Every structure is written in structure tokens, then in C-alpha cells.
Amino acid sequence: MKKITMVSVVLLVILSLFTILYFSNWNITGKIIETNYYSYTKAVCNEKNFCQDYGVTCHGNEIVSFSPITGAFAQFSEDWKDPRIENEKEIICNR
């Protein structure tokens, strides 16, 4: 009789947990780690094309961080354009 009671308790606990998880908003699938964070580098230049690279981190369309990369700067010719930019009106966090 003691064995049947113990098995019943274990089954009841498992059934209760399953019911709670099934009917709750908890997400225990791989999607819980799915994020919309991404990062890249961008050259920021002055009028004489002295440029420094910045690390840009975005979450969706919002900037999370925009910080200079130490030692990543260069002097380019005055007609140089950053090849990583698709057009002149680039939006920083827009994928």
C-alpha cells in the first residue's frame, strides 16, 4: 500500500507541473534565448576623413552601446567612403 501511495504522489506532482507549465505563459523552449541583439563596427570621420572605428551594439532598432575602439583610427583620402555603409543616409540600428 505504501508503494502505491508513493507512486501516486510522484504522478500527481508530475501531472501538476505539466499542467502548470502547459497553461502558463512560461516559455521553456529554445525561444527563451532568442534575442535581437547584434553588433558591428562603423567608421566615424571628421571633415578631413580622419576616422575612428566605433563598436555599435543594437537591440532591434535601438542603440545599446556606441563606443570607440581603442587604436582603431586612420587617415583616408578626402573622397574615401566607408564601404560598410550601403548609402549615405545610413540608420545605425536598422537591419
The pTM assigned to this predicted structure is 0.52
Check pLDDT > 60 for residue 1: no
Report the pLDDT value the prediction gives residue 6, as an integer from 0 to 100. Answer: 79
Residue 28's pLDDT band (cuts 50, 70, 90):
low
Q: 65-87 burial string, b = 16+ CB within 10 Å, else e?
A: eeeeeeeeeeeeeeeeebeeeee
Domain positions in the chain are: 2-75
CA distance 9 to 94: 53
Take residue 8 and report the three cell numbers written for it: 501516486
Report the pLDDT value the prediction gives residue 87, as an integer from 0 to 100. Answer: 55
The two beta strands, 37-45 and 62-75, are unpaired
